[in-house]
Structure 1
Amino acid sequence: MQEQTKDQREEIIKSKDIGVYFDNQSYKDDIKSRVFSMFKKKEKKEKEKIWPLKDIDFTGYQGEILGIIGSNGAGKTTLSKIIAGILAQDKGTMHVNGKVTALFSFGMGFNKELTGLENIYLNGMMLGIDKSVIDRYMADIEEFADIGAFINQPMKYYSSGMRARLGFSVAAHLEPEVLILDEALNTGDARFSRKAAQKMKELVKHAKMVIIVTHSLRYAERNCDRLMWIHNGVVREIGDPKEVVASYRATVPAPVRRKRSLNLKKTEADVRDKTIVRAKNVGLSFELNTGEFWALRNLDFEIKEGEVVGIIGHNGAGKSTLCKVLTNILKPDEGDIEINGETSSLLGYGTGFNAQLTGRDNVFLNAMLLGIPRKRIQDKFDEIVEFSGIGKAIDKPVKQYSAGMKSRLGFSIAATLKPDIFIVDEALSTGDIAFQQKASERIQEMMSHAKAVIIVSHSMNFVEKVCTRGIWMERGQIRFDGTAEEAVAAYRESLGVGKETNKKVVVRRNKKRKQRQQTNANK
């Protein structure tokens, strides 16, 4: 951003005393909701106003990248929708000087039956872009998204990361004036995240401004000119990214100290000889309109009882496809897969939720889809709600939930009901740092009764912290299989991070681990 005083910069967004409320009966606003309500007991309830946003004041300036951070349910997405004109405020004024292009979550607005190419035109025209303009930028959009021949395939074959890349590429190239990215890059891999960051910096040179809503504090600190921290519907702080991040981190509860640490050495000691998952020469292909495509090929690996395995790699590497094979959603075309135990999976946040039903109803719906008896769900219901931290929102329709709230509730259902084998595929990508800490500790606790945990994530720090082992996949094959730290180091090196940097990180961590071991031995 060019060096200018605030008085010199043009004001692009001016928010004054913005507030919006829902009432406890406001969800009965469409035909589906009314149909569902007919089958439920009618109770007379007084309308209660709930203010997800209140008295929001801020100014957005020409040429800046403004980040918005905060815990799940803080009001970030609601504010984004008001700026974009999707939602009208109930009080205050919002002035936006420019046409807003918004990308909410990954791939929202895409039609899964249409090809990527067809969806580019669909999304572009939904944004009010003339077809001739889309034609002019088509080659740039394809090149930037970097999904290869999949551009001509139906989007039902795309991974979440591929949808994220194409969605961002469309929004960033079609002449946006004010670009809002609300959790839109959560499932992007590290390489694409860097490309996106560079593209946003180029955008603000000729566009008016970019707004990023994210839970990645590191990403926000590195790429935003200013940060706004929203908490419980109000602005807690706005200013220098490092200062705001420091203030936000200070409010996150410290991790609970337990005897059984998540550090690699102690967790490895709990790995047993029993094999829980065995894959032998596993391959899976799709018949696309361009011919046969092997999403997985020649996969050989074993997962022992007690392991927490992180699966990493670029978008489209085959990670989600492997998870679907492990959960019997897909059957391999060649090779054998052996699974010893009942599998519970959380494939993406909010997967399986019915938007019209309340969170309470969805707890029972999701659990019964996992084959859990109703009595057990009733016994664990309060624990599920408490762990999710969504409070009274459990009786609100899921369509009113933020992506993070769905993520938290989905994880809480699956983790509280104690599966044998727990698979988490990008389901925590929208979780705030406080919930990710809770989730890390819960995964650790699960290892006393679960047989294995498998986590797909683009968060290398999360994988290093939680997992005992890492599998790096690329183009449907395993590139590296070893400790979580070694796998992350190898993957980062492939992204251009220097070998010496990785060695220093490993040496530093090993030194700290030895110091902890020595301290424990002295005790």
Structure 2
Amino acid sequence: MVQEQVTHEKQENREVVLEVKDLGVSFRAGTTEDYKSKVFNLFSKKDDEPKEKEFWPLRNLDLKGYQGEILGIIGSNGSGKTTLCKLISGILKPDEGSVYTDGEVSALFSLGMGFNKELTGRENVYLNGMMLGIPKDTIDEYFETIHEFSGLGEFIEQPMKYYSSGMKARLGFSVTSHLNPEILILDEALNTGDAQFGKKAADKMKQLVKQAKMVIIVTHSLNYAKRNCDRLVWLDQGEIKGDGDPKEVAKMYRDSVPKRPKRQRSFELVKANAEVKDNVIVKADDATVEYKLGRKPFHALKDLDFEIREGEVVGIIGHNGAGKSTLCKLLTNILRPDQGSILIQGDTSALLGYGTGFNAQLSGRDNIYLNGMLLNIPKDVVDRELENIIDFSGIRKSIDKPVKYYSSGMAARLGFSIAAQLKPDIFIIDEALSTGDMAFKEKASEKIQEMMESAKAVIIVSHSMRFVKQVCTRAIWMEQGQIVSDGEAEEVVEQYKESVKRKG
């Protein structure tokens, strides 16, 4: 109690640069907002579909932010974190209360929201700068610094539709953090970044608060929040449940997460129990994917040779831009190799991060049917599995809201639930759980464990070395589109971590 009083007094003596008073915003659940939505409802509408009702993701919220602080915001998916960020940045207008900010707000939402995928990285730097009200000559002045910080190299001239989620995050952070923001909001923007870039971004944020006014970070990583934030706010169902010292608030949040029901043995991430068989499920033979960077060819993947056998759980690791997401797109036939071949034995279901393939105008319920159709799943099978998918996702209250109102974590929850419930032969997970909250990550990890024992093969792209070491039977480390190392998971992870230390 004494500590809380001292903290309160320290805050009151600092300059207030953000003040939220009695803040509230409401949405209408169950509405269909456009022609496409109404047409789609002909396929999925049921007699017992919920009627339109009012939903308040935030209400009666009071919060202050102070000069020179890095403020972290944590909470489960759907707790109101993204909605609060949109209100502070002016993307949403409150229905109740007020938001005061002393300075210009620059917000970076997950995956560089606002980027145009058909434009190059260079063109998107200028597009984002102009959207933030930055004069072109200022962007000219900072461009090379932004480019160098992002670490994208020649990829800066490539259309963004070829970028991985981590590359988008790198460029988005580089733009917003180098154009002199006064109040910088990062909403799940660095969750897909590799360890080396994450450290560089953390150092940059500490520099920013010396010259800017404050930084707000939304994250599901409690360790990241404790390392980098001066103060932590815990949101739950639109209310502040904790506000203060990062270690204390993180512990309060962790203690609030419901414990999973005990099974015959307590759940713990372990290696797959499935026996590795001689049957080859995936075979790459000199697989190469080539793009044009101006007049020069660029190899996103070059001469990949590997086999994955039935029963293996393979982790794919490497820095942003190493070729991991491109490989996933090859494995799911989104891309075809320009040279060589890749053979796949079995049906593949992929979750390529953040609900790829969702239609933002449709409700979560409609998107379950849409994704089922995209995966060639008969409608009667989707009907049968619908309630299981909704229950597992844990977002039933929002299932009839348009997905454009979902946070990235809610989209990730729903995307994982759809893909996992369909029990594919080969299951590919490309950074899809990087925005999941603690409770859902535990549940999803348990589901992955079950799938590892029933699917022919599981392929996991992740920046979490701990997760790869615990779960995967094998790891493939990629750099610049080529395989650097392929072998037993613990050994390859240690090789990769040593490489990061040497470079950073």
TM-score normalised by length of structure 2: 0.92
Distance 1:472 1:253, change over 3 A: farther
The one of 485, 488, 495 aligned to 2:490 = 485
Q: Which amino acid aligns with 2:85?
A: S
The residue type equivalent to 1:390 in the other structure is I
2:363 counterpart residue number: 358
> Which stretch shifts more, 43-52 or 418-427?
43-52
Q: Which amino acid is the alignment partner of residue 470 of structure 1? A: A
- Do the aligned partners of 1:80 and 1:180 also contact (CA within 8 Å) in 2? yes
1:469-512 alpha-carbon deviations (Å, 9 max, x no partner): 211111111112223322222221111189xxxxxxxxxxxxxx
- Is 1:326 the counterpart of 2:331? The answer is yes
1:94: how far off?
1.6
1:104-159: per-residue Cα shift (whole Å, max 9, x none)?
11121111222211111111011001112111111211110111111122222222
Q: Equivalents in 1 of 2:268, 2:93: separation in Å?
A: 46
1:399 aligns with 2:407: no
Quote the offset at 1:393 in angstroms.
Answer: 1.6
1:300-339 matched pairs, under 5 angstroms: 300-339=305-344
Are the structure 2 counterparts of residues 384 and 42 from structure 1 closer, same or farther at C-alpha, using a change threshold of 3 Å? closer
Deviation at 1:374, TM superposition (A): 1.4
Instruction: Deviation per CA, 1:259-287: give whole Å up to 9, x if none.
Output: 597655x5366322322112222222112
> Which among 54, 63, 66 is matched to residue 59 of structure 2?
54
Question: 1:17 Cα shift?
Answer: 1.6
Displacement of 1:322: 0.6
- 2:388 is matched with which residue: 383, 403, 413? 383
Change (3 A) 1:383 1:26: closer
1:19 to 12, 17, 24: 24
**Secondary structure, counterpart of 1:55 in structure 2:** strand
The corresponding residue for 2:192 is 187
Alpha-carbon displacement from aligned partner over 1:223-250 (angstroms, at most 9, x marks no partner):
1111111011100101111111111111
Distance 2:461 2:264 in 1: 25
| Matches of 2:264 and 2:323, distance apart in 1 | 35
Aligned to 1:9: 14
Out of 221, 226, 234, the position equivalent to 1:221 is 226
Paired residues of 1:262 and 1:466 also in contact (CA < 8 A): no
Matched, 1:65 2:70: yes
Partner of 2:469: 464
Q: Please give the alpha-carbon distance, in whole angstroms, between the structure 2 residues aligned to 1:402 and 1:308.
A: 29
SS in 2 for 1:167: helix
**Alpha-carbon offset, residue 51 of structure 1:** 1.1
Among 268, 280, 286, the residue aligned to 1:281: 286
Which deviations, in whole Å up to 9, do the C-alpha atoms of 1:289-346 show, x marking residues without a partner? 1411111122222212122211111010000111111111212223332211111111
CA distance in 1, matches of 2:257, 2:313: 25
Range with greater deviation from structure 2 (479-488 or 366-375): 479-488
* Distance across 1 between alignment mates of 2:502 and 2:252: 29
Q: Could you tell me which residue of structure 2 aligns to residue 94 of structure 1? A: 99
Give the secondary-structure state (helix, strand or coil) at the position aligned to 2:498: helix
Change in CA separation of 1:217 and 1:379 when aligned onto 2, cut-off 3 Å:
same
C-alpha spacing 1:122/1:249, structure 2 compared with 1 (3 Å): same
Letter in 2 for 1:107: G
1:518 equivalent in structure 2: none
Counterpart code for 2:155: F
Amino acid at match of 2:359: N
Conservation of the 8 A alpha-carbon contact between 2:30 and 2:400? no
Deviation sequence 1:13-55 (CA, Å, 0-9, x none) = 1112211111236663x67657767998799987532110122
**1:122 is matched with which residue: 127, 142, 160?**
127
- Going from structure 1 to structure 2, the CA distance change for 1:171 and 1:31 (only over 3 Å counts) comes to farther
Which residue pairs with 1:516 in the alignment? none
Q: Secondary structure at the match of 1:176?
A: coil
Evaluate the alpha carbon distance shift between residue 258 and residue 221 of structure 1 in structure 2; reply closer, same or farther with a 3 A threshold. farther
Label 1:25 to 1:320 Cα distance change in 2 as closer, same or farther (>3 A): closer
What's the offset of the Cα at 1:370?
A: 0.7
- Aligned counterpart, 2:252: 247
> 1:215–1:45: structure 2 CA closer, same or farther, 3 Å change rule?
closer
1:131 is the counterpart of 2:136: yes
Unaligned runs of 5+ in 2: 1-6
Q: Specify the code of the residue in structure 2 equivalent to 1:370.
A: L
Cα distance 1:293–1:202, how it changes in 2: closer, same or farther (>3 A)? same
Matched, 1:422 2:427: yes
My pick for the range that moved more, 273-282 or 434-443, is 273-282
Q: Displacement, 1:467? A: 2.1
Distance 2:409 2:84 in 1: 15
Q: Determine the structure 2 residue equivalent to 1:445.
A: 450
* AA matched with 1:239: G
2: CA distance between counterparts of 1:35 and 1:175?
Answer: 45
Q: Structure 2: which amino acid aligns with 1:160? A: S
Task: Tell me, yes or no, if the aligned pair for 1:115 and 1:151 is still in contact at 8 Å.
Answer: yes
Q: SS state of the match for residue 423, structure 2?
A: coil
1:140 to 139, 145, 169: 145
User: What residue number does 1:476 align with?
Assistant: 481
How many angstroms apart in 2 are the aligned matches of 1:25 and 1:448? 38
Kept in 1: contact 2:21–2:61 (CA 8 A) = yes
Change (3 A) 1:481 1:259: farther
Offset at 1:464? 2.6
Map 1:262-281; keep pairs closer than 5 Å.
Answer: 267=272, 270-281=275-286
Contact kept, 8 Å, 1:356 with 1:397, in 2: the verdict is: yes
> Alpha-carbon deviation of 1:71?
0.6
The counterpart of 2:160, out of the listed 146, 155, 168, is 155
Alpha carbons of 1:497 and 1:59: their partners in 2 closer, same or farther (altered >3 Å)? farther
Distance 2:264 2:201 in 1: 39
Partner of 1:237: 242
SS at match of 2:10: coil
Whether the aligned pair in 2 keeps the contact of 1:36 and 1:356 (CA below 8 Å) is no
* Larger mean Cα displacement after TM superposition, 192-201 or 298-307: 298-307
SS in 2 for 1:163: helix
Specify whether residues 497 and 243 from structure 1 end up closer, same or farther in structure 2 by C-alpha distance, changes over 3 A only: farther
Question: Please, which of 497, 500, 503 is the counterpart of residue 495 of structure 1?
Answer: 500
Write the distance in 2 (CA, Å) between the matches of 1:148 and 1:443.
35
The 1-side partners of 2:51 and 2:380 are apart by 31
> Would the aligned equivalents of 2:269 and 2:449 in 1 still touch at CA under 8 Å?
no
Q: TM-score, normalised by structure 1?
A: 0.89
